[in-house]
Structure 1
Amino acid sequence: MKMISIPAVLVAITLAACQPTAIAITEEDRLAIEASSRHWVETYNRNDWDTLSNLFTPDAILMPPNGPAVIGRSAIAEWEQTNEAGFRIAFDLQSIDGAGDTAYVRGRSCVFIPDGAGKYGVDVGKFLEVRKRQSDGTWLIKADIFNSDLSVGGDLLAACPFDSSQIQYD
């Protein structure tokens, strides 16, 4: 039977303990991410898909429900144009956390979908974003996954369950 020396174990433990720990994101980071999220909502609500795609990293991945992943800015802009033209959105940010240059944003969403008769139905859902701090200090979306709380085939709601008064309809 082979014995491991106690000094070797102590050295291994010491080296493992000396690994740098990423610093938690700051309140300034949280405020910047909140501002970036507001800008994302404003851009989405203008249906300005090219500008919206620039709020993602060049290699970002969008993971919509019931479909394949969408990778890269141009593909994200095209997906948004094809699938969400005319839609509006409101966010309820519930958590912003992270460390170093990585942040996680979790929240609820209300997507306002035109019904063709001049009104909107509401799809309530949730989302999770991974954001990366860029060299200029901005926080771009690296990964975005979202889905609906509605059951398959369920009817859209008449209203958003959280404040969505900032939504402007054409």
Structure 2
Amino acid sequence: MVTDEVRKAIDANNRRFSEGFLKGDASITASIFAEDAVVFPPDAPMVQGRGAIEEFWRTIMASGVKAVELTTIEISGSGDYRHERGTGIIRVRPPGGTPAGQKIKFVVVWKHTADGWKNIWDIWNASP
């Protein structure tokens, strides 16, 4: 069961994730991840650990990703784990390039930790 409190915490984390892109600050974006989190980027190796995840997002931001808009469709789970399913748009403005948007779909596994709800597994890919 997903309580309002859990939903609010996950929504706040998603806003913080997006805020990092708007500010160009990978440390803000990475702050929602657990220390031992794993990110599964499309067509790339897994990225393990918050430090490596922060560096991953820093590289993505430098490539021209300026905004990420996430929409939660469903949150399920119980105990210390929740599973989020959603969609989003990645807004890209590459240096010297034309702005573009890429639709995505995603699944995130959240874990309740001593520091609150943290993203532990994050996977996404392009969506038509």
TM-score relative to the length of structure 1: 0.68
1:16-45 Cα shifts (integer Å, max 9, x gaps) = xxxxxxxx2312111221122112111232
Aligned to 1:27: 4
Aligned to 1:65: 42
The AA in structure 1 aligned to 2:50 is: R
1:95 aligns with 2:99: no
Moved more, 93-102 or 78-87: 78-87
Unpaired runs of at least 5, structure 1: 1-23, 151-170
Q: Per residue, is there more strand in 1 or in 2?
A: 2
Aligned to 1:124: 103
**What pairs with 1:131-146 in structure 2 (closer than 5 Å)?**
131-136=110-115, 138-146=116-124
Aligned to 1:37: 14
What's the C-alpha RMSD, in Å, of the aligned pairs? 1.7
Q: Which has the higher relative contact order, 1 or 2, with Cα contacts under 8 A spaced 6 or more apart?
A: 2
Shift of 1:84: 3.2
1:101-150 Cα shifts (integer Å, max 9, x gaps) = 101111111001114447410110111100111224x2110000011125
Asked if the contact 1:25/1:100 (under 8 Å) is kept, the reply is no
Q: Identity over aligned residues, as a percent?
A: 32
Mark the CA change 1:118 to 1:66 in structure 2 (over 3 Å): closer, same or farther: closer
Aligned to 1:166: none
Asked if the contact 1:127/1:147 (under 8 Å) is kept, the reply is yes
The 2-side partners of 1:80 and 1:135 are apart by 24
Question: Secondary structure at 2:11's aligned position in 1?
Answer: helix
Asked if the contact 1:61/1:143 (under 8 Å) is kept, the reply is yes
The 1-side partners of 2:21 and 2:60 are apart by 12
The 2-side partners of 1:100 and 1:57 are apart by 17
Asked if the contact 1:95/1:107 (under 8 Å) is kept, the reply is yes
Aligned to 1:7: none
Mark the CA change 1:119 to 1:37 in structure 2 (over 3 Å): closer, same or farther: same
Aligned to 1:9: none
Unpaired runs of at least 5, structure 2: none
The AA in structure 1 aligned to 2:34 is: T
Shift of 1:47: 2.2
